Amino acid sequence: VFQLSVPLNFLGSVYRDLKQALLDMENLFQLQDVKVKIQDKPDAKPLQFQGGEIKFENVTFGYHPSRKILQNATFTIPAGQKVAIVGPSGSGKSTILRLLFRFYDVESGRILVDGQDIRDVSIESLRKSIGVVPQDTPLFNDTIRNNIRYGRLEATDAEVEEVTRRARLSNLVEQLPEGYETKVGERGLMISGGEKQRLAISRVLLKKSPIIFFDEATSALDTETEKALLQNIHSLIREQNSTSVFIAHRLRTVAETDKIIVLKDGAVLEEGSHQKLLADKNSFYYNLWESQENLALAEELEEEAQVIE
């Protein structure tokens, strides 16, 4: 038994490292089409984390030279604050996240985390500080417990269950005959888009990163679940003092943030608190809000009608 346990443990740790690497690389984003390999500078230093301020300074970037996605984008996400990035679909919201993660480097301008140009720090240290709930979360062919634990491999069962409760997924898991040991993924239980999102949120909450991005992370949830879940997320993030960024095009989910950055045509069009942006009836934000409120009202009426049926 002793002889066997050594190589098995070794293999186990390699396997775990591989999975961790996959997660940190955020396989998470559809990375298949990333051709340019970004590498550390020879003298790259670990990121000196000081609270998690993120600055984009005149950032210009395009996936193809002929088409700029971001054009002189300038904004600040203050340390420890809760910030929203909103804008029409295709306006470059997820691109901001990919640039911050250094899947690509900027064409001009710079991105700073706590005052350090991210091209000068090691990619590993940068990615370690940032948790992401991507727009589309991959599940591993493994148990629910292990899928969540990928957020932080050394977390205890109790910690896994606690975040699952906070992500409002625990009731559902506990109803399954095999509970947390239920296999999910392609070869396991098929779970809905909303369940997958709650699993991804559990995972990132377990990671306890000082910076957390939620990229349309609650888009598949119904209004009530989304509201309750966001409250839990906000309170947990306050406890951890993390800087949090909510990328969304549904504005109802971002009204309670400290600051909203409105992106349009690759640049920051407006920014400020929800109240401030709404106060200007000529603002793009005001118009977005108005049109969505009417839509939301219609949706809610529809949801109610379904309940009555």
Could you list the residues that contact Mg ion (CB under 5 A)? Answer: 93-94
Minimum separation from the CB atom of position 87 to ligand ADP (A): 6
Of 62-101, which residues contact ligand ADP (CB under 6 A)?
Answer: 63, 69, 87, 89-95
**Residue 151 makes contact with ligand ADP by CB under 6 A:** no
Cβ neighbours of residue 77 under 8 Å, at least 6 residues apart? 53, 54, 55, 83, 243, 245, 259, 261
CA-CA distance, 190 to 200, in Å (whole number)?
Answer: 15
Cβ neighbours of residue 248 under 8 Å, at least 6 residues apart? 84, 85, 86, 214, 216, 219, 254
Minimum separation from the CB atom of position 176 to ligand ADP (A): 33
What is the torsional sign of CA 139, 218, 177, 153?
A: positive
Q: Which is nearer to ligand ADP, 94 or 129 (CB)?
A: 94
CA-CA distance, 92 to 69, in Å (whole number)?
Answer: 6
Minimum separation from the CB atom of position 276 to ligand ADP (A): 23
Is residue 163 within 8 Å of residue 202, measured between CB atoms?
Answer: yes
Residue 175 interface partner, choices ligand ADP, Mg ion, none, CB cut-off 5-8 Å depending on type: none
Residue span 22-51 as binding mask against ligand ADP, x where in contact by CB under 6 A, dash where not: -----------x------------------
Question: Phi and psi (nearest 5°) for 269?
Answer: -90, -45
Find the residue with minimal CB distance to Mg ion: 94
Q: Which is nearer to Mg ion, 93 or 102 (CB)?
A: 93
Q: How many residues bind ligand ADP (CB under 6 A)?
A: 11
Which residue in this structure is represented by tokens 């975040």? 163
Minimum separation from the CB atom of position 93 to Mg ion (A): 5
User: By the criterion CB under 6 A, which residues form the site for ligand ADP?
Assistant: 33, 63, 69, 87, 89-95
